[in-house]
């Protein structure tokens, strides 16, 4: 007798009911088992474990659908490989859909018939989330955001103290009392967001972006109520919680009457907010939304900021965050910026929309139980970086920064890791 | 749950090597965890950071902001990053025996 009671099981199976369209069912019925996806997946490439082939993960979800929603699956489950949703199946789903997928979408891009594999994985995660089976380590980050307003539970006064501290440093460095970090100011053009790891542990990227806004003469503000760009419920698969978190940024935009929301360098945060939240919330944006990478590129095109590439002598390479690049289509802007920032820029191979994931996506950084796997699959990224010969790796995603920092230590790469804002600030010619 | 063995003691840790029970921490464990991270000997600068993190944890139940560490030790941000190559969270907080902080760290 398993522990999955019928009411719990039914919550999981609800993802197959009352569907608004045929999108999910089409994806579940379409795999032709050609096997092309195998060689695209960093988990399969690094481990050779066939269970980790993307098509196998799709089939895991599809086999449950077949069991409960097709005649053959109901009558002859063994013949059509339909599976009961029981303890074994659910345990395997947790291990493979949470523990062996960074939701990087590389399999999607190579699928011979265009199945949205990432969407099927997310649906599988939603099933598990409905059944209360999100790994506790991942859920803890979601809960922190829901309860405290940011995913690291930073108290408001400590957040403010940190920004005041950064502002003092900036005023000193630029020798201008106008070099401020505005807080909660209504009616500005831009509301900027942060990844909580910036104020908590890595605030140099905040100072870097403030310096860029200063140089561009931007009218901007941060909010002390809602500044968190992340949305870990996008990873856990709980759409209700993802909606609550996304909705807070919408509310803050209207509370502060700001025209444009600029998202900090965060792959999944950009995906969850810019590309998913209109679906969660069933409405169009009444304001402009852009990633800071695009926003900085726009400053360069408009001549609002100027860069001196001769300051950075080292060879620089770029890591493409999956959510921003493959899934979001922001491919050229970071290259346009970097070519004006540094003299010696080299690409990884492969790069752009075919780049390998750093191994930290999909919530992997939060899930300690899969740490060993996460470091193992990152060997692919370590090799890629090493082959470029670069001394600086730039990446527009704080999650990738953290994963690459660990790769750097573990695989002894001896590189520096920077965000786009940080390297732009290094090259910035001040007015 | 994974375990590590330090000086004959078998201790439970999470998958990232953070102590499962922060209360078992002592200075010998801190030195041993630091050696896993390639820090052969904790200097006075390392200890000043570790003590602030530890005290903040005992008083407030969370890791301190990096601002607090900088201002109380007088160390520059970049020095802290150099002292703990795995960073303030996976490096310093782990040495100080805290659970892994939530978020992208």
Check which CATH number belongs to the domain holding A333 and give it.
3.40.50
Is B93 an annotated catalytic residue?
no
Both A312 and A210 in one domain: the answer is: no
Distance CA A374, CA A277 (A): 28
Residue A367 placed within a domain: yes
Both A238 and A338 in one domain: the answer is: no
pLDDT tier, A210 (very low <50, low <70, confident <90, very high otherwise): very high
Q: What is the pLDDT of residue A431?
A: 82
Q: What is the pLDDT of residue B2?
A: 87
**Start-to-end CA span in chain B (Å):** 20
Per-residue pLDDT averaged across A359-365, rounded? 97
pLDDT tier, A87 (very low <50, low <70, confident <90, very high otherwise): very high
**Number of helical (H) and strand (E) elements in chain A, helices listed first:** 22, 10
Residue A53: C-alpha distances to residues A47, B1, B76 (Å):
10, 27, 46
Mutate to test the interface with A, among B17, B74, B90, B102 (most CBs of A within 10 A): B102
Both A158 and A291 in one domain: the answer is: yes
Interface residue ranges in chain A relative to chain B, Cβ cutoff 8 Å: 137, 140-141, 144, 151-154, 158, 161-162, 165, 195-197, 199-204, 230, 266, 365-372, 398-399, 402, 405-406, 409
Mutate to test the interface with B, among A201, A366, A426 (most CBs of B within 10 A): A201
pTM score, two decimals?
Answer: 0.96
Over the stretch A52-85, which tens digit does the pLDDT of each residue have?
A: 999 999 999 999 999 999 999 999 999 999 999 9
Q: What is the pLDDT of residue A2?
A: 77
Contacts by residues B67-75 (CB-CB < 8 Å, ≥ 24 positions apart): B67/A158, B67/A161, B67/A162, B67/A165, B67/A203, B68/A158, B70/A165, B71/A165, B72/B48, B73/B45, B73/B48, B73/B49, B75/B45, B75/B48, B75/B49
Both A34 and A165 in one domain: the answer is: no
Residue A1 placed within a domain: no
CB contact under 8 A, A406 and B14: no
Q: Return the higher-pLDDT residue of B2 and A25.
A: A25
Both A310 and A287 in one domain: the answer is: no
Per-residue pLDDT averaged across B95-105, rounded? 93
| Domain, as residue range, for A158 | 139-301
pLDDT tier, A178 (very low <50, low <70, confident <90, very high otherwise): very high
- The answer, yes or no, to whether residue A384 has pLDDT greater than 70, is yes
CATH superfamily of B2-95: DsrC protein, C-terminal domain (1.10.10.370)
Identify the active-site residue in B54, B99, B104, B105. Answer: B104
pLDDT tier, B7 (very low <50, low <70, confident <90, very high otherwise): confident
Over the stretch A281-312, which tens digit does the pLDDT of each residue have?
A: 999 999 999 999 999 999 999 999 999 999 99
What value of ipTM does the predicted structure carry?
A: 0.95
When divided into structural domains, chain A yields a total of 3
Shortest distance, CA A152 to any CA of chain B (angstroms)? 5
């Amino acid at each position: 007798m398993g522990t999955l009671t019928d009411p719990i099981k039914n919550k999981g199976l609800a993802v197959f009911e009352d569907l608004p369209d045929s999108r999910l069912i089409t994806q579940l019925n379409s795999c032709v088992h050609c096997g092309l996806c195998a060689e695209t997946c960093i988990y399969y490439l690094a481990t050779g474990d066939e269970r980790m082939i993307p098509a196998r993960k799709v089939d895991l979800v599809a086999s449950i659908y077949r069991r409960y929603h097709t005649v053959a699956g109901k009558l002859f489950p063994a013949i059509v490989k339909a599976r009961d949703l029981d303890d074994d199946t659910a345990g395997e789903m947790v291990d493979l859909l949470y523990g062996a997928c960074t939701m990087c979408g590389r399999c999607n891009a190579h699928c011979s018939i265009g199945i949205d594999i990432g969407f099927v994985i997310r649906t599988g995660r939603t099933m598990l989330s409905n059944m209360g089976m999100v790994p506790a380590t991942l859920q803890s980050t979601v809960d922190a955001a829901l309860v405290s307003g940011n995913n690291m539970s930073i108290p408001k006064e400590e957040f403010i103290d940190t920004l005041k501290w950064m502002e003092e440093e900036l005023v000193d460095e630029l020798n201008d009392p106008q070099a401020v970090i505005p807080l909660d100011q209504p009616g500005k053009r831009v509301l900027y967001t942060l990844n909580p790891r910036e104020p908590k542990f890595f605030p140099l990227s905040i100072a870097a972006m403030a310096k860029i806004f200063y140089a561009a003469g931007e009218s901007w503000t941060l909010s002390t109520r809602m500044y968190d760009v992340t949305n870990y419920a996008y990873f856990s698969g709980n759409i209700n919680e993802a909606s609550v978190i996304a909705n807070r940024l919408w509310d803050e935009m209207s509370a502060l009457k700001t025209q444009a929301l600029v998202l900090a360098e965060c792959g999944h945060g950009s995906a969850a907010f810019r590309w998913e939240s209109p679906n969660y919330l069933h409405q169009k944006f009444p304001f402009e939304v852009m990633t800071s990478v695009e926003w900085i590129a726009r400053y360069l095109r408009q001549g609002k900021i100027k860069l001196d590439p001769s300051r950075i002598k080292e060879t620089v390479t770029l890591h493409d965050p999956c959510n921003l690049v493959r899934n979001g289509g922001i491919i050229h802007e970071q290259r346009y910026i970097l070519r004006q920032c540094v003299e010696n820029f080299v690409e990884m191979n492969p790069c752009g929309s075919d780049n390998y994931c750093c191994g930290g996506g999909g919530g992997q950084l939060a899930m300690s139980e899969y740490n060993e796997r996460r470091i193992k699959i990152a060997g692919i990224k370590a090799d890629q970086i090493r082959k470029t010969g670069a001394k600086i790796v730039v990446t527009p995603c704080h999650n990738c920064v953290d994963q690459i920092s660990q790769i750097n230590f573990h695989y002894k790469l001896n590189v520096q890791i920077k965000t786009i804002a940080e390297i732009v600030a290094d090259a910035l010619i001040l007015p | 749950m994974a375990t590590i063995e330090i000086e004959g003691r078998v201790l439970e840790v999470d998958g990232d090597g953070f102590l499962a029970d922060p209360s078992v921490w002592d200075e010998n464990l801190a030195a041993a965890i630091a050696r896993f991270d390639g820090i052969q000997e904790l200097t006075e600068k390392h200890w000043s950071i570790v003590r602030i993190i530890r005290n903040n944890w005992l008083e407030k139940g969370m890791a301190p902001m990096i601002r607090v560490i900088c201002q109380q030790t007088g160390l520059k941000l970049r020095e802290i990053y150099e002292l703990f190559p795995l960073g303030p969270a996976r490096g310093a907080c782990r040495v100080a025996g805290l659970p892994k902080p939530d978020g992208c760290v």
